[in-house]
Structures are given as C-alpha cells and as structure tokens.
A = this chain, B = another copy of it.
Amino acid sequence: MTFTTELQPGVCIEPEAVTQDYVFNHTMLRVKNPEPSLDFYTRVLGMRLLRRLDFEEGRFSLYFLAHTRGREVPEDTGERQRYTFGRESVLELTHNWGTESGDSQYHNGNSEPRGFGHICFSVPDIQAACARFEALGVPFIKPLERGMKNVAFIADPDGYWVEIVQADLNGEMGRG
C-alpha cells in the first residue's frame, strides 16, 4: 500500500522553494506556575530548559524547552538564541507573573469551546513509559487499557493533555 496524500483537496504538491527552509519551531502553552511545569517537562519527560526570557514591563516570563539528547547546546547568548529559535520541537511555556497564587485555571482546549487539543511525546516503549508515569504519580486522562489501543494521555500540571505514543505501534490505527 502506498500513499496518495498529495491528491487530498487543499494539498499543495510543490510548495514554493522558499518554504523548504521554514521550520515548525515551537508550541506555546500558558502555565499557572513555572515550578511544577518545569519539573514535569524536565524530570518526567526529559526536556532541557534552553532559554528563559523575562519581560518586566509585561510582567511575564517565557521558558523554552526541548530534548537535546546529549547534544551540545551553545552557551553563548546569541548562539543559544539561534539554536532555540531555529530547531524543531521546542515547547514554550508562558508564565504571567502572579498567576501561581490565584485560583484561575487555564482552558486546556478539550472542554467547550474546544479548539487546541494536545501535545504529544513519542516513546520507545509505551508500556514501560506508562508504568514509569504511574510510579511518578502523574495523573492519567486515558490510561493505556482504556480508549484507543497503544495510546495513552497524561495530564501536565495545568491539565493540558499530553499524548504518549510508540512509533512502531498503531500501524493499524484508522484507515488512510
């Protein structure tokens, strides 16, 4: 079986050459309190904090995280800036100062009015990863046994949905 995704209405088969140097760089989530969020994305999911930017006038901070897998990350400010904004799969967490002490909960996108859905991490062994999340006390939205086979959803500290998949499973999922 081969794919004919190019024949899908709307799909541009030959995008302009200039677009081939575009990079899908990051996804931004607002977080109530950076401390449990940084703990979750670094300790539970293994990301590294690449860059923190504080905006005193606007009273917010931005935290940029990514997996670096032992690869060297530039120490120099300008170099690190280019690395952070030039690579793939960066997660940006926005902290509006003061929200950590309030009661407000951010909308995670999966209650009405819906829209944004989730972010997703691919793991080499989904059974082992889910057992590890359970041992770490991470809340599950959909454990492995329920819902779609071979797919789990955990919740981050703000309730954002985080999907967990294993790349070599799910071959039979859906049609298409």
Q: With both chains docked as a complex, state the minimum distance between the C-beta of A93 and any C-beta of chain B, in angstroms.
A: 10
Cα-based distance from A5 to B16 in the complex (angstroms): 38
Q: A9-B38, A167-B81, A174-B55 are in contact. Are A24 and B113 (CB under 8 A)?
A: no
Contact A30 B115 (CB under 8 A): yes
Contact A89 B23 (CB under 8 A): yes
Cα-based distance from A129 to B20 in the complex (angstroms): 12
- CB of A101 within 8 A of chain B? no
Give the one of A26, A51, A114, A129 with max B CB within 10 A.
A26
Contact B176 A61 (CB under 8 A): yes
Chain B neighbourhood of A120, CB < 8 A: 24-28, 90, 92
Q: Majority SS of interface residues in chain A?
A: mixed
Q: Number of copies of this chain in the oligomer?
A: 2
- CB of A168 within 8 A of chain B? yes
- CB of A75 within 8 A of chain B? yes
Contact A15 B42 (CB under 8 A): yes
1/0 per residue, CB under 8 A from B, across A45-83: the answer is 111111111111000011100110110000111101111
Cα-based distance from A60 to B169 in the complex (angstroms): 20
Chain B neighbourhood of A174, CB < 8 A: 53-55, 62
